[in-house]
Amino acid sequence: MATDETQRTEAFPSGIVSVGLSEVKRQIPSDEPPPLPPNAELAVIGKPTARQNGRAKVTGAIRFTVDISLPNMLHGGILRSPLPHAAVAAIDVVAAALVPGVRAILPIATPDAILRYVGAPVAAVAADSPAAAEEALRLIRVDYKPLPFVADLDVARNPASPPVHDSASAPAGDAHGFPAPAGLPLHGNVRGPATVTRGVISQGLAEADIVVEGEYRTAVQTHCCLEPHAIVADWRTDGLTVYMSTQFTAGVRHELAAAFDLPLSRVRVIVDGMGGGFGSKSSLGNYGRFAVALSRQAQAPVRLVLDREEEQMDAGNRPGTWQQLRVGAKRDGTLTAISVLSYGTAGVAVGAGVGSFAEALYACPNFESAQYDVFINAGPGCAMRGPGNVQGAFALEQAIDELAGRLSIDPLALRDRIDPSPVRREERRIGADRIGWHRRRASGADAGPVKRGLGVAQSLWGANVQINASCEVRVMRDGSVEVLSSVQDIGTGIGTVLAQVVAEVLGLRPEAITVRIGDTEFPAGPPSYGSRTTASITPPARTAAWRVLQALCREAAPVLNAAPEQLAARDGKIVVLGDPGRGMKFADAAARLRTDWISAVASRSDDYGGFRRRIGDAAIALQDLGGVQFAEVAVDTETGIIRVERVVAVQDCGRPMNPRQIESQVQGGVLMGISFALFEERIIDQNSGRMVNPNLEQYKLLGARETPEIEVAVLENYQGQSATDAYGIAEPSNIATAPAIANAVYNAIGVRLRTTPMTPAAVLAALGKIPARS
């Protein structure tokens, strides 16, 4: 590309720090800052930094959406289908409307509507008190005409099973939330296949010296956010304000404007504290629309908070899967064929594939995958932390482990041969050292009933970027600084990272930066899904801070008798480069401003080396994110209990911005992975079609006593792609955990568990210890 006035060439640090850095030349927009040096040369970025709102969180001072209380606020509630499949014959709200305090009733399922799962919304009400709302819901009379239903993946694959959808009602969408490939056929309850083919699979299998085959299953996992789905909708004649626990304030604003025919300028979305989303709070959701409609009807603010049962039944989930894998290899480990057949179910909606994991992780000339979505009468799935790849990794990484065993090649050595990624190669080296991989013994080497084992598995995830992410930085006349964006902190601590970025540029401490985020009054930030927040918002934050610093330096230059480009900001001062004695306090420079504040707004530019793919406002970076995790387990072969004793997680996210928060996120990913591997399962009673564990008592989540020692190591991997060169960590840290545990269990007991959750019942069955029933 020819350089013009809008571009300039810069040399960026490139490579993995622990392996060795080189330089890469990039054309960058001329109004963006110079390359950011490696973390070792920086004052704030890359240094462990305390979460800004940490104290407010642990003291309860932070305001979550459920804490919002407005004058005259009403309380909303939703009546839900008790049946898995039914037609609404009649609905009568007369008695409900007479309950004192009821202010709005919203019909949702009109007569003749088909309800397709237990928990499907039927009607909503708003009342002066939660008790009045509950009473009104109880008094809504619905005449349901039950229809045949199917609530099991295997049963629904049978063409004779009761149809969940007709072709008109079958929703589009894949496991990543993107539209499903157009034109996929729907036969009975089975849609697909979505296929990918590379090379010739039959030839690859024929060339193989060894073929491993296996069937794997993963259970439905629900998001279980600590904070439930919550909204307070305030409809007024001059506009709509919505307080919502959301992963995407700017997106919800667009959805609201479209759904209620309002100009964007009349819609405001706000979120302060947030207790997690994991993909389930990516959009407005049906409950969000109901709350706003109720507020419009009642002309009063309406608070609507889902309870735990509603969370479990109608707030999304990770689809369950059945997968059949065939992997062929030469004696030396060289892969010749990978074949994936999958059937997954996300209930009544959204795709349920197993991702692109098997397609992209290893070099293999012959590949095929056929992925089918199966509809059942159960609550809809939605994206959940590493959608598709978490399920896909559980199968593929066990198949590779099995292959290594059959070939008598160490699992790490096999991956050195078949995995082209230099990032994961380094991660394997670091992780093997930390976990003590040399201690790994043959299966069943322990004499007693408790067997120990070590396992490893790898991760692959695309590095996502939102290209319309924007950020503003203001310097006030008193020297104080604000950073503003609608980006939301869903619990990851992005506000703290923004403060670090701005502080680094302005030569200040991060505590001195006031962070204003989570409000669409500010420049539109990115969504916090697809692990894209840091990658999307930190480059414009740095660019905006850099531009505002340039303006400040223009004010300071005459006083310091220097040209503006000779000035730099460090240690709370504006100094003259090469003349450390000459300088002035940052605040003194700010005091010279003509206006009360100066401001700069910047948006995310394209990655300097380009993107692999663009889909609307989203883009995928050229280089994927890696990750390698090691697990050490102890399996009690007499009780079937698996204890994960230790996990070493080696991850990469480009430039690590705040190691303390990254460590915290990786720990969260590992814990969620352990919980997925050992405990979590949506259990549906097949006779009634209802989830029998829609709570946190019988839906089992890992707790403090199941938490192992977790050691996190993070590579510094520079690629010269943006003003910060930072990417995400949330999803990559959740992908390798479950297969690493399964492989460790195999190493411990010599029996492979191919189904989640790996319960004591499953372990005892795999060991042949359950007597046959008479």
Partner 1 sequence: MNRFAWVNARTIEEASAAVSATVADAMTELAGNAAAGDTAVLKAGGVDVLDLLKEGLLAPARIVSLRGIPGLDAVVEEAGGGLRIGSMATLSRLADHPVVRRRYPALSEAVRASASPQIRNVATLGGNLLQRPRCWYFRAHEYHCLRKGGGHCFAIAGENQYHAIFDNRPCAIVHPSTAATALVALGATVELADAQGAVRQVLLEDFFGPPDRDLQRENDLKPREVLTAIRLPALPAGTHMAHLKQGEKDSFDWPLADVAVVLELSPDGSCRKAALVLGTAAPVPHRAKQAEGLLAGKHIGEDLAREAGRAALEGATPLAKNAYKLPLFETLVRRAILKAALG
Residues binding partner 1: what is the number (CB under 8 A)?
34
Question: What is the closest distance, in whole angstroms, from the C-beta atom of residue 690 to partner 1 in the complex?
Answer: 6
- Whichever of 595 and 687 has its CB closer to partner 1, that residue is 687
Question: What is the closest distance, in whole angstroms, from the C-beta atom of residue 114 to partner 1 in the complex?
Answer: 20
| 3 state SS of 734 | helix
- Rule CB under 8 A: say whether 645 interacts with partner 1: no
> Does residue 483 contact residue 516 with C-beta atoms inside 8 Å?
yes
> Using the rule CB under 8 A, which residue among 207, 606, 693, 750 binds partner 1?
693
- What Rg do the C-alpha atoms of the chain give, in angstroms? 28
> Which of 670, 672, 680 shows the shortest CA–CA distance to 221?
680
> Which of 165, 198, 169, 193 shows the shortest CA–CA distance to 180?
193
> Which of 619, 459, 460 shows the shortest CA–CA distance to 527?
619
- Rule CB under 8 A: say whether 683 interacts with partner 1: yes
| Span from 374-382, 450-458, 700-708, 731-739 in contact with partner 1 (CB under 8 A) | 700-708
- Rule CB under 8 A: say whether 764 interacts with partner 1: yes
Q: Pick out residues in 507-536 that bind partner 1 (CB under 8 A).
A: none
Q: Quick one: how far is CA 449 from the chain centroid?
A: 39
Number of Cβ atoms within 10 Å of the Cβ of 452: 19
Helix 411-418 and helix 422-435: axis angle, to 10°? 170
- Whichever of 311 and 401 has its CB closer to partner 1, that residue is 311
> Does residue 657 contact residue 45 with C-beta atoms inside 8 Å?
yes
| Span from 274-282, 352-360, 510-518, 681-689 in contact with partner 1 (CB under 8 A) | 681-689
- Rule CB under 8 A: say whether 58 interacts with partner 1: no
Question: What is the closest distance, in whole angstroms, from the C-beta atom of residue 81 to partner 1 in the complex?
Answer: 11
> Does residue 241 contact residue 234 with C-beta atoms inside 8 Å?
yes
- Rule CB under 8 A: say whether 23 interacts with partner 1: no
- Rule CB under 8 A: say whether 685 interacts with partner 1: yes
- Rule CB under 8 A: say whether 698 interacts with partner 1: yes
Contacts of 413 (CB under 8 A, 6+ apart): 333, 404
- Whichever of 134 and 410 has its CB closer to partner 1, that residue is 134
- Whichever of 662 and 678 has its CB closer to partner 1, that residue is 678
| 3 state SS of 730 | coil
- Rule CB under 8 A: say whether 703 interacts with partner 1: yes
> Using the rule CB under 8 A, which residue among 82, 162, 365, 564 binds partner 1?
82
- Rule CB under 8 A: say whether 687 interacts with partner 1: yes
Burial of 60 (0-12, 13-18, 19+ CB in 10 A): exposed
Q: Pick out residues in 319-358 that bind partner 1 (CB under 8 A).
A: none
Question: How many CA atoms, within 13 angstroms, populate the side-chain half-sphere of residue 337?
Answer: 21
Q: Quick one: how far is CA 307 from the chain centroid?
A: 22
- Rule CB under 8 A: say whether 450 interacts with partner 1: no
Q: Pick out residues in 280-319 that bind partner 1 (CB under 8 A).
A: none
- Whichever of 532 and 690 has its CB closer to partner 1, that residue is 690
CA distance 37 to 72: 54
What does the block give as tokens for 198? 């590379």
Question: What is the closest distance, in whole angstroms, from the C-beta atom of residue 642 to partner 1 in the complex?
Answer: 10
Number of Cβ atoms within 10 Å of the Cβ of 554: 16
- Whichever of 482 and 706 has its CB closer to partner 1, that residue is 706
- Whichever of 92 and 685 has its CB closer to partner 1, that residue is 685
- Rule CB under 8 A: say whether 641 interacts with partner 1: yes
| Span from 344-352, 554-562, 566-574, 703-711 in contact with partner 1 (CB under 8 A) | 703-711
Q: Pick out residues in 120-159 that bind partner 1 (CB under 8 A).
A: 131, 134
- Whichever of 196 and 641 has its CB closer to partner 1, that residue is 641
- Rule CB under 8 A: say whether 706 interacts with partner 1: yes
Single-letter code of the amino acid located at 567: L
Q: Which residue has the tokens 């959406």?
A: 65
- Whichever of 610 and 703 has its CB closer to partner 1, that residue is 703
> Does residue 734 contact residue 318 with C-beta atoms inside 8 Å?
no
- Rule CB under 8 A: say whether 700 interacts with partner 1: yes
Instruction: For CA atoms 439, 443, 447, 448, give the dihedral sign.
Output: positive
Q: What angle do CA 125, 129, 133 make, to 5 degrees?
A: 30
- Rule CB under 8 A: say whether 670 interacts with partner 1: no
Number of Cβ atoms within 10 Å of the Cβ of 750: 16
Q: How far is CA 643 from CA 118, 688, 712, in A?
A: 35, 34, 19
Question: What is the closest distance, in whole angstroms, from the C-beta atom of residue 101 to partner 1 in the complex?
Answer: 13
Binding site for partner 1 (CB under 8 A): 82, 131, 134, 638-641, 678-679, 683, 685-688, 690, 692-693, 697-698, 700, 702-706, 759-761, 764-765, 769-771, 773
